[in-house]
């Protein structure tokens, strides 16, 4: 009954390859995210989708392309992998809560995919 699940957990691949990471959430949330955590553990948002629509696209190389077939799934495809892409990628989901004049986000994370490019 995992809430946010991503596969694979580990991915080792050679430079220049194309790879995909899949994410699914069963929380009924409207919004899903991809975050990248570097070797210093810094978490940075890459993309956010709300009801299959891209709403946040940080400065990420074009080689990264997210795809959301439905609001419960958000996949990340990476073309022409580079050494610097090695990191842990986290999928997350959230449901917005609204109070007068304010929106609030509580994001729930998957276990992460450790990508190693060699």
Partner 1 sequence: GQQLNQSPQSMFIQEGEDVSMNCTSSSIFNTWLWYKQEPGEGPVLLIALYKAGELTSNGRLTAQFGITRKDSFLNISASIPSDVGIYFCAGQLSNFGNEKLTFGTGTRLTIIP
Distance set, CA 23 to CA 51, 54, 58, 101, 103 (Å): 15, 16, 19, 31, 25
Strands 4-7 and 102-109: unpaired
Helices (H) and strands (E) in the chain, counts: 0, 11
Candidate list 34, 110, 115, 117; residue touching partner 1; CB under 8 A: 110
23 part of the interface to partner 1, by CB under 8 A:
no
Beta bridge partners of 90: 35
> Rule CB under 8 A: which of 46-105 touch partner 1?
48, 50, 55-56, 58, 90, 92, 96-99, 101-105
Q: Which is nearer to partner 1, 3 or 15 (CB)?
A: 3
Q: What residues contact 15, with CB distance under 8 A and at least 6 apart?
A: 81, 82, 83, 117, 118
User: Site residues for partner 1, window 24-53 (CB under 8 A)?
Assistant: 31, 41-45, 48, 50
Taking CB under 8 A as the binding criterion, the range among 21-29, 60-68, 69-77, 109-117 that sits at the site for partner 1 is 109-117
Binding site for partner 1 (CB under 8 A): 4, 31, 41-45, 48, 50, 55-56, 58, 90, 92, 96-99, 101-112
């Amino acid at each position: 009954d995992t809430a946010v699940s991503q596969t694979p957990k580990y991915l080792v691949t050679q430079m220049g390859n194309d790879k995909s990471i899949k994410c699914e959430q069963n929380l009924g949330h409207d919004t899903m995210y991809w975050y990248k955590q570097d070797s210093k553990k810094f978490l940075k948002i890459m993309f956010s989708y709300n009801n299959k629509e891209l709403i946040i696209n940080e400065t990420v190389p074009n080689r990264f392309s997210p795809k959301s077939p439905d609001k419960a799934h958000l996949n990340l495809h990476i073309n022409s992998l580079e050494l610097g892409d090695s990191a842990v990628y986290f999928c997350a989901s959230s449901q917005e809560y609204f109070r007068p004049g304010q929106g609030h986000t509580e994001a729930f994370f998957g276990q992460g995919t450790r990508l190693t490019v060699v």
